[in-house]
Each structure stands twice: as structure tokens, then as C-alpha cells.
Structure 1
Amino acid sequence: MENWGRLSHLFVTVFLANFAELMVSPAIPDVTLAAVCPGKDECSAAIYLTGFQQAIAGVGSVIMMPLIGNLSDVYGRKALLSVPLVLTFIPLVVLAWKRTTNFFYAYYILKTLTAMITQSGVTCLALGYLADNVKEGKRVSAFGVLQGVSAAAYVGGTLAARLLSTTQIFQVAATISILAAIYMGVFLKETTRGTDALKQPILEVTESDDGSSKALKKIDIKKIPSPRDIFRLLKSSITFSLAAFVAFFNSLAEAGLQTCLLYFLKARFGFMKDQFADVLLIAYIGATISNMLFMPTLGPRIGEETLLSLGLFAGFLNMFFDSIAWAPWVPYASASMGLFLFLSAPNLRSIISKQVGPNEQGLAQGSILGITAFANVISPLMYSPLSALFLSEDAPFDFKGFSILCVGLAWLAGFFLSIMIPILSKRRKITHISVEV
């Protein structure tokens, strides 16, 4: 792969950032319950707080992801990448200090605000960086390696969470998150596209009528994507439009999974931090294997569309078996679907990358991540009340996993849409050729 030295620094940065983020995931439900509902295994307030945080972060991401992606097209990926990396470690430092109720709510507020940028910011800019440095024919492999690096970070972070105490988890995660920002600043090289743009001033000095100088903010509407710009991308090709809808349903399911699954497992089988970590570890080991091996080898041969459909259907099966889990070992077995589930995101990104030119990679990836962020807004509004209802004693019928099954149905909807991508894209190409002839 060309520019391997430059890309290796990007992979290390992404690894460290994701390692810190996923390291705290298994511990957050216990910390939340201890702060909000001490001594309880079931707590609707904790579920609603988690859903509200995801919704607010999603609203901010809808605006921020296209903006950050488009700004990186002009001012460079590295310059923009420093923003989410710095913001990531701020909430972690709070819980690394203490985890009392007051400190938890301070973390909660900071995390909600910073997640508007950090939730998808690193991913958005990393994808743009790869597109700058990898030829179109090899991007599916590059995106697969990036997803594999992320999955490997999840494996390492989850394993560390399994071995460390809750106090140590947040201290180590905060340290690694700071290290990620420092490493990126020192070693990552800026892309050629951003180098010239960085010389352009964000503030320009203009001369007033009386001859004095006055600093005014330079406003370039081309750097701030409007809804019209995003709509133009969506209707630029049938493939892009279908990929956007698939991304929406995929994100709807992923956000629902984050909202419901751990609380469901805690209420259904009494899972704690270590059991959460074990389930996640199995899923992320499978994701690492699939993205490091399947994507580079099978992607160029059978196509991104096939792998995308496979990943979406695996997500549905995973949720279906979890929803009807009859024994504690079932979630461990269904987690093995991670071998295919995590194929969805990198193949989507590769499909999208091929639909736009080199000067629109940041905008395209940012726009899609904005759409997925919108799904993150809707998802907790749907799944949090549903999960709280069916885990309570007031459920209309006895099916604690009903919300988990509904998460799986979102993946199933994405699966049916993904099947249409190669069919409609091929039909449009045939029609276009017939018209020209």
C-alpha cells in the first residue's frame, strides 16, 4: 500500500484513540447505576440518561460532521483531527479523579457536549486522510485495515477493562487519550491538499474608510456546507442515495445496541463489568479478524456490496438470538457474529468514497456521518423508552428482549436496501449506455 509510513502513523493514532474510548465502555453502566440508582440492577433513569446523551450528541454531530469534513478538505486533515483528539480526554479526566455522584454528572455534561465532535470526528477525518493517500482501487482494503485497527483497539481496550479495576480503567484511559493527541501532533504528516490551504488566513485584515486596520473574520461559504450541498451529494447517484439510507439504518441499530444491550444483559442475567467485557471482547476479536483478512482479500473480488449485505444480516441474527436468550451463554455465542457484523461500516465508506471526486472526500464522509448522527438522535428516542418499558414490571407482555429484537429489525431493513444497491446501480448504467447509443 502506497504511503505506508504516513498511513501507519494514522493507524497508531486511531488505535490509541479507540483503545481509550472502548476501555471505559464496560464500566460506564456500573458507574451510571451507582450514581443514579445505587444498589439496583434495573433503573429506567439510567437508560433515559444514556439515551438523552446519545440524542444530544447526535444533534450536534448532524451539524458538526459535514462542517468538519468540509473544513478538512480546505485546511487539512491533521489540523482538524487535533480538535476531537483533544476534546476526547477532557471527560475521562473527570472520572479518573473521582466517581462520586457530582463527578459523574460533571462527566455526563462534558461528555454530552464534547461527543458532538468526538463521536464521529476521528473516524470522519481518518477516512478523508485515507482517501487522500490511497488510490480508488485499493480503498476497500485500506478502509478494511482502518476498521480492523479500530477493532483491534476495541479488543485491547476491552481486555484491559477486564483486567483493571474501575479506578484504574479511567486513569489509564485518560492517559492513553492524551498520548493519542500528542502522537498525532508529533508524527502524523499533513496531506498535500491541506498544506497550501493552511497558509490561508482564517482572519483577514481589512482597511476601513479612515485608514485604520480592522480584523474581520473571513467567511467563505464554500467551507461551510449547506443542506443544499448535502442534498446535491445525495441525489448525485442512486448508489450514493441508497448507501445513505443503509448508513442511516445501520447507525440506528448500532446506537440502539449501545442504548439497550448492556442494561438488558444486566437485568436478564445480572451481568457486571467483567461479563460485559467478555461479550464485547468476543465481538471485537471477530471484527479484527474479518476486517484485517476478509476485507483486503474478499473485498476486491466479490465487491463491497456483498460484504455490506453480509454484515447487515449478521447484525440482525446477533440481535435476534440475544433477544430470545434463554441462558447466560447465548450472548457469548451470538457475539461471534462480530466476525461479520463489523463488515458493514468500512464497506459503506468505500462505496461512498468512490461516488465523489478527490476534493469532496471530507464533505462526502462528513455528510454520511451527519446522517448517521441523525440516526443517533432518533435511536435513543425510540429504544430507550421501549427498553425501559419491557425491563420494568409494567411491560405489556413478558418479553424483556423486545427492544433488542427491534434493534435487529433496523439492521434487517438496511440489509434489504443494501441488496438494491448493485441491482439499481447496474440498471442505471445499462439505461445510460442505451441512451448514449
Structure 2
Amino acid sequence: METSRTIARLTVLNHLFVSVFIHNFAIFMVNPAITDVTVSALCPGEDECSLAIYLSGFQQAVVGVGSFLVMPLMGNLSDKYGRKAFLTIPMAFTLMPFGILACGRSRNYFYTYYAFKTITAIFCEGTVHCLSLAYVADNVPSGSRVSAFGILSGIGSASSLCGNLSTRFLSTAVTFQVATAVGIVALVYMIIFLPDSAIDSSLLTPIMSQEKSTDSRDDEGTVDSANKHHSFKKVPSLNDTILFVKTSWVFLQLSMVAFFSTLADVGIHAAMLYFLKARFHFDKDQFADIMVITGIAGTISQLIVMPLVAPILGEARLLSIGLFFNCTHMLLYSIAWAPWVPYAAAMLSVFFVFTQPCLRTIVSKQVSSSEQGKAQGCMSGISSLAHVVSPLAFSPLTALFLSDRAPFYFPGFSIMCAGMVSMIAFIQSLMMRNALRVSDLKVANCRIEA
């Protein structure tokens, strides 16, 4: 009986991994090309374009506000109605902006893309990853989740590698056409082959009512720690997210690590491509090369290295390691003195890809099996808040220090600031490890007394 359940879990997870891989493949195909499209449409013939930086920052801020409100709702509703229905929405609407640029990339087409991308990203940005994490948690015992989350992130890195590599050999026009077609394939595959999380039948019943939940046990027979926390309403609000953060000191530390690490990541992603284009005149092909290196290193690390070292070091220690090297790679980017330095910095993704899988694993272990969508959605909402703050802070810095009006010559100044923010997340992770040890000790003492 147990063997048949294990085989069923592996089967549904394989279908999820394939769906996520194909979907992310389509998304990552367009990433190296979108900077060239934006600059060409807004500032033809120039390598530095402040308007492009400000528009990208404004879009990130709007999407961050929307995602902060929408992501917990999507996660919570997926707890009640199933993951598949709410995976369909972002996988379908993500294709619309790609289709616009597949038709044309002039200024008018770009502004149409910009409007549709801003609207759809509110519901789609990060939703597939968030619900995929909840889907994995539905079907994997808590003791094995760090490896499973690492594999899911490795699938994302592999899709990044393949998508960026394919862009290297395609023209810009064909890139968006192929991405649209691949996205449709991902959607159709998911609808046909991916079952809902029926292995946990409680998913399709109302959860997180205002009444206290009864004790629940995970597949390993251990009592879930969620029963210590407050229950949530069926339809979440901003107060529910605040309540989630305030349930324990561990949750507060997790939220701070998620916020500051995302703040730094959004900051460098918004600045890096524009910095490389202005500093070293990189184009689509060089962007793709760097992303391919990151994808190769990240895939090897998450699919091979992480499953081996996670049981030995633990997800809390791996989280700190990932944040430390994330800070290091940002600082190295900021002082890049030659075109080969960004390629060397990209190799550090072997270590900093540990961050998100470990963070999400710790989150999943703090709640019961019926609250995975809500917990992951609230954490994604907190990360989305960083998408609001980051462009307000880093977009003006990037535009200023890449222009002739900079108070002093330091083109990578905004990236260096992102690295310092990542250092704050690293320090918070060290404090969180102490909180986790205290929490685990209290739970162990309670079990001994019982």
C-alpha cells in the first residue's frame, strides 16, 4: 500500500516538474531579449536609456503591490479548491504579452506589451512557483521537502539554461514566437496530464476557518507545528498576512529574510542588464551567455549537490550559505572591471541558488498540510512587497549612476547597494537559526512531557 502511494506521488510530481519546466522554458527564452527590445523601442540607437529603467521600475512597483494582495488569496483558494485550477490561470495569461511582441516590437507594440504585462503579472508573477511549492508539499513528507524543493528549483534552473541557450541561436522576432508556442504546449500538457492534489483529500474541503484546528500529523507521524499558530479566514486580507507574520518569532525572522533577500534580488535583476549594456555594450547574446552559465551552475547544484548536502547541513545552514554567496556575487558584479568578471560572478550561483528552496522548506515545516498554499502565498506576498520597495530605491540609483549626472564615477553603485541589502538578509538568517533551535527544543520538550 505504501509503495503504491509512493509511486503515485512520484508520478504526479513528474507531471508537475514537466509542466513547470516547459512553462519556465518559455519565460526564460524572452529574458535575454527583452532589454534590447525595450531600449530599441524607447531609445533607438543608444546603449543607455533612463526611460527604460524608470518604466521597468514602475512596472515592478505596480506588480509588487498587486502581487502582495493577490498572492495570499491565490494560495488560500488553492487550499480550498485545489492547485490545478489556480495553476491554469497564470500559465494561460502569461502568454498574452509574449504574443504581442511576437507580432511586432515597435514603440506602439512595446507600450501595448507593457500595459498587458503589467496587468497580467499582478496575477501571474511568481504564482506558478508558489503553487508548485504547495503542490510538492502536498505530496512529500516534511523530512524530504528540502530535497524536493531543491529539485523543483533545479527544474527552474534547467529550464533557464535551455531557454537562454535557445535564445542564443534565435532572432528576436522568432524568440517571442517560439516562446508563445512553447507556453501553449505547457498549458495543454498541464491540463491533460497533471492531476489535482487528490492524494491529500482534505485539500478540497474548507480550511483555515476561525475555529481551532485539531492536531494533525504528517506522513512521518510527527505532530505538525501549525496547531500552535492562529487560524486564518477563508478569504485572506492584509490583516491575515500580518497575523501570519506575528504567529511566532520564527515566522517574523522568515519574513524578514524573505523581504530583504528579494529586495536585493529584484534590485540586481533590474540593474544588471542595463549596467552590462552601458558598461560593456553587452547585447542579447552576451546576456544569454551569462544566464546559461548561471543555469548550468544552478542546475548542477540543485539537482545533485543540494540533495546530498541538505540532510547533513540542514536547510537553515544552507540558507545562510546561499545568502552569503548571493551577497558576494552582487558585490563582484558592482566592481566589474572587465567583461569577463560578470561571467565569473555568475559561477557563484552554485551556492546562492540554495536560498529559495531552503527558505520555502522552513516555511512549509511551520504549518500543517492543509495550510501549505496559504503559508507559501503569504511568504510570496511578503516577497512581492519587496518588488514595490526595490524599484523605488534602485531604479533612480541605477539611472543616476549610469548617466553623465552621477556625483562620482561608480556605474555599479546600485548593485553594490543591493549586495549590502543581501548582507542584511544573511545576518537575519543567522539570527533565525538560533530561533529555530529554540523552537525545536521547545517542541522536543513538549513531546517528552507528553
Amino acid corresponding to residue 400 of structure 2 in structure 1: L
**In the alignment, does 2:153 pair up with 1:140?**
no
CA distance in 2, matches of 1:335, 1:386: 23
Match of 1:378 among 389, 393, 400: 389
- Look up the SS of the partner of 2:177 in the other structure: helix
Contact map agreement 2:266 2:387 (CA 8 A) in 1: yes
TM-score, length basis structure 2: 0.89
- Structure 1 residue aligned with 2:167: 161
Task: Give the 5 Å matches for 1:110-149.
Answer: 110-149=116-155
- 1:253-332 equivalences under 5 Å are 253-332=264-343
Equivalent pair of 2:72/2:374 in contact (CA under 8 Å): yes
After the TM superposition, list the runs of 4 or more consecutive aligned residues in structure 1 that deviate by more than 6 angstroms.
193-200, 431-437
Determine which of 34, 42, 50 is the counterpart of 1:36.
Answer: 42
For residue 254 of structure 1, what is the amino acid of its counterpart? Answer: D
Contact 2:262 2:386 (8 Å CA) reproduced: yes
1:395 paired residue number: 406
Contiguous gaps of at least 5 residues in structure 2: 1-5, 207-231
- Measured after TM superposition, the shift of residue 295 of structure 1 is 2.0
1:351 counterpart residue number: 362
**One-letter code of the match for 1:111?**
K
Q: Find the aligned partners of 1:403 and 1:242 in 2 and give their Cα distance.
A: 26
Correspondence for 1:88: 94
Q: CA deviation at 1:83?
A: 0.4
CA contact (8 A) 2:202 2:370 kept: no
Select which of 418, 421, 425 maps to 1:414. Answer: 425
Pairwise CA distance, 1:250: 1.1
How far did residue 274 of structure 1 move?
0.5
Q: Quick check: 1:363 aligned with 2:369? A: no
Q: CA RMSD in A?
A: 1.9
Match of 1:51 among 52, 57, 61: 57
SS of aligned partner of 2:168: helix
Measure, in 2, the Cα distance between the counterparts of 1:64 and 1:346.
Answer: 22
- Counterpart in 2 of 1:185? 191
Q: In the alignment, what sits opposite 1:239?
A: 250
Would you say the 8 A contact 1:319–1:408 is kept in 2? yes
What residue number does 2:238 align with? 227
1:86-135 per-position Cα deviation (integer Å, ceiling 9, x unaligned): 00101100001111111111011000110111111101110111111111
- TM-score w.r.t. the length of structure 1 is 0.92
Provide the rounded CA distance (Å) in 2 between the counterparts of 1:417 and 1:338.
21
Q: By how many angstroms is 1:199 displaced? A: 9.4
Q: Offset of 1:197 from its aligned partner? A: 7.0
1:391/1:187 CA distance change after superposition, 3 Å? same
Q: Return the alpha-carbon distance in structure 1 between the equivalents of residues 444 and 368 of structure 2.
A: 22
Please say if residues 77 and 194 of structure 1, whose CA atoms lie closer than 8 Å, have aligned partners that are also in contact: no
Report the AA paired with residue 333 of structure 2. Answer: D
Rounded Cα–Cα distance in structure 1 between residues aligned with 2:89 and 2:200: 16
Quote how far apart the aligned CAs of 1:237 are: 2.6
Q: Percent identity?
A: 49
Distance across 1 between alignment mates of 2:62 and 2:237: 21
**Local SS of the residue matching 1:192:** coil
Q: Could you list the runs of 5+ residues in structure 1 that have no partner in the other structure?
A: 201-220
- What is aligned with 1:19? 25
